[in-house]
Amino acid sequence: MKKVAGTLKIDQAQYRELEAFSKFSSDMDAVTAMTLDRGRKNNQLLIQPQYSPMPVGEQVAILYCGVHGLMREVPIDRVRQCQEQFLDKLRTTAPEVIETLGSGKIDDETTGKIEAVMADIAATFK
């Protein structure tokens, strides 16, 4: 979890700061817009239903997608739907990825599978 979400706290702090300043400015450069978009999407990914926590492996997989910007094509209002579709597909096509992440290990093969599954799902939201 620390390896994947290590920069999440800093990213979210930067997002909050940029969001506060962007309210006063009308024009925004591409990097600022991308940072704001990623921060809003990460906020949506961090929301979990009350009394039904997500398993650790699934949390790590979805946070990996958020931190690495794999959902940049997905509209903010459809992030939760994308998350559900991603986790459903990951559970059915690559359950070993969730088990590996849950055990605290991450490698290039695991991240490659996460990226491939999210690429398939995100393509449907364009």
Q: Please report the pLDDT score of residue 16 as a whole number.
A: 87
What is d(CA 125, CA 16) in angstroms, rounded to the nearest whole number?
Answer: 26
Q: Please report the pLDDT score of residue 5 as a whole number.
A: 75
Is there a contact between 101 and 110 (Cβ–Cβ < 8 Å)?
yes
Q: Please report the pLDDT score of residue 2 as a whole number.
A: 73
Q: What single-letter amino acid sits at 93?
A: T
Compute the radius of gyration of the chain from its Cα atoms. 15
Q: What is the pTM of this model?
A: 0.84
What is d(CA 91, CA 97) in angstroms, rounded to the nearest whole number?
Answer: 9
pLDDT of the chain along its 126 residues, tens only?
777 777 788 888 888 888 888 877 767 788 888 888 889 999 999 988 888 889 999 999 999 999 999 999 999 999 999 999 999 999 999 999 999 999 999 999 999 999 999 999 999 987
Q: Please report the pLDDT score of residue 19 as a whole number.
A: 85
Is there a contact between 80 and 41 (Cβ–Cβ < 8 Å)?
no
Tokens, residue 58:
């699934």
CB atoms near residue 62 (< 10 Å): 26
Q: Please report the pLDDT score of residue 11 as a whole number.
A: 85
Q: Please report the pLDDT score of residue 79 as a whole number.
A: 95
Q: Please report the pLDDT score of residue 89 as a whole number.
A: 96
Q: Is the dihedral of CA 7, 71, 86, 77 positive or negative?
A: positive
What is d(CA 4, CA 24) in angstroms, rounded to the nearest whole number?
Answer: 33
Q: Please report the pLDDT score of residue 52 as a whole number.
A: 87
Tokens, residue 57:
């492996």
